[in-house]
Amino acid sequence: MKKIVFPVLVLLMAIGLFPEDTILLKKSESIDLLEKMEANDFFMKAILGVDVDETCIYFLDQALGTVFRVDKNTAKLVNTIGSKGQGPAELQYGDAFRVINKMVFVADTGFNGIKIFTIDGKIVKEFKTNSPPKWIDVNQRNEIFVSGVSSEGYPNISIYNMEGKKIREFLKFPYKESGSASYILNSELIFRMDNDENMVVVFMLKKLVRKYNKMGSLLWEKEIKNKILDKYNTEPGFDIRSTGAIYYHRSIISLGLDETGNIIIGHVYGGVIYDKNGNMIHLIQFEPQRNLGNFRIYDGKILEIGALGSSINIYDFKIK
């Protein structure tokens, strides 16, 4: 008996989680939202982001330059926001977006700025940012947090008001732009704020998650790779070739927070959920096993999107 139990315990310790801590998302038990939407005769091409409000789910389609507003219950299209182009109500290259206070804030790197719409699709404001905006979040006072590059050349997160005036720099990471591996590792980031305006920042290439308070002071940090990716033996590393180019593998895909501050991080093999204090409480895996988990938590559900919208599924779950 001991010969059997000991290897099992070693295996469980190696993966960092016991079986009861794993959420197994079974395709057979999910709601196929994509199928429902296509049955309602509308189609998306390349989903890059998702957000939710009280009644609707919003999908950013980068290829079509459009945010689709979809009813949560019926999966029917309510309206579209924006279209592909260079005009005031159009998007060139929407990279990220946020829905809050009945408005849709889009970071458009092609425009090199932010475009703000009502949820009904009317343009409210557009303004340029100091550098191409890579990611965005917005608080209840409509202060817009944007990641980019500071005037000194450092990766940073700055705050703008609705009029496009830069209020202040929220965070700056000490690696100046030079094409170095250190700069790239610190500039590839995504972030979300909780209800107390603490900010969770995930460095996608470093596989590191940090939480800051609303003044920008570090509360805690965790190495995601030690808990998730090492067991799959996928440590990426950098390959600097004769051309000097740096090739890298982005293991982290998405970041979301629920109303209580739990943190869900999607990666190429599934996902992980932390509580607000940084304790890992769940590992997420698929059945059947597949890659590319892009998650959002809402209403006691996990919304999961496959690569660029190849699948959209809703699962019921409970966080312990």
15 vs 17: CA distance, rounded Å? 6
- One domain, residues 85 and 111: yes
Q: What is the pLDDT of residue 19?
A: 46
- One domain, residues 247 and 287: yes
Domain assignment of residue 20, yes or no: yes
Taking residues 30-55, report their average pLDDT.
93
The model's confidence at residue 23, banded by pLDDT at 50, 70 and 90, is confident
Q: For residue range 134-159, what is the model confidence (pLDDT) as tens digits?
A: 999 999 999 999 999 988 889 999 99
35 vs 26: CA distance, rounded Å? 17
- One domain, residues 91 and 136: yes
Q: What is the pLDDT of residue 20?
A: 53
Domain assignment of residue 136, yes or no: yes
- One domain, residues 17 and 81: no
Residue 151 or 80, more confident: 80
* In the chain, % of residues over pLDDT 70: 84
- One domain, residues 95 and 155: yes
The residue segments making up the domain with residue 278 are 6-41+232-320
Q: For residue range 234-252, what is the model confidence (pLDDT) as tens digits?
A: 444 544 444 455 556 677 8
* This prediction's pTM: 0.88
Domain assignment of residue 222, yes or no: no
The model's confidence at residue 229, banded by pLDDT at 50, 70 and 90, is low
**Contact in structure between 179 and 192 (CB atoms under 8 Å):** no
- 94: domain CATH number? 2.120.10.30
Label each residue of the chain as H, E or C: CHHHHHHHHHHHHHHCCCHHHEEEEEHHHCEEHHHHHHHCCCCCCCEEEEEECCCEEEEEECCCCEEEEEECCCCCEEEEECEECCCCCEECCEEEEEEECCEEEEEECCCCEEEEEECCCCEEEEEECCCCCCEEEECCCCCEEEEEECCCCCEEEEEECCCCCEEEEEEECCCCCCCCHHHHHHHCEEEEECCCCCEEEEECCCCEEEEECCCCCEEEEEEHHHHCCHHHCCCCCCEECCCCCEECCCCEEEEEECCCCCEEEEECCEEEEECCCCCEEEEEEEECCCCCCEEEEECCEEEEECHHHCCEEEEECCCC
Taking residues 212-234, report their average pLDDT.
76
Domain boundary among 161, 187, 213: 187
Q: For residue range 252-311, what is the model confidence (pLDDT) as tens digits?
A: 889 999 989 999 999 888 889 999 999 988 888 888 776 677 899 888 899 999 887 888
Taking residues 186-213, report their average pLDDT.
94
Q: For residue range 117-140, what is the model confidence (pLDDT) as tens digits?
A: 999 999 999 999 999 999 999 999
Q: What is the pLDDT of residue 12?
A: 42
- One domain, residues 26 and 81: no
- One domain, residues 131 and 69: yes
- One domain, residues 10 and 60: no
Q: For residue range 4-20, what is the model confidence (pLDDT) as tens digits?
A: 444 443 444 444 444 45
The count of structural domains within the chain is 2
Taking residues 32-44, report their average pLDDT.
93
- One domain, residues 182 and 49: yes
- One domain, residues 279 and 261: yes
* In the chain, % of residues over pLDDT 90: 60
Domain assignment of residue 32, yes or no: yes
Q: What is the pLDDT of residue 291?
A: 63
Domain boundary among 187, 202, 221: 187
Domain assignment of residue 247, yes or no: yes
Domain assignment of residue 112, yes or no: yes
Domain boundary among 187, 217, 242: 187
Q: Is the dihedral of CA 302, 209, 151, 193 positive or negative?
A: positive
Domain assignment of residue 207, yes or no: no
Taking residues 165-193, report their average pLDDT.
87
- One domain, residues 173 and 241: no
- One domain, residues 19 and 142: no
Domain assignment of residue 118, yes or no: yes
Q: What is the pLDDT of residue 213?
A: 97
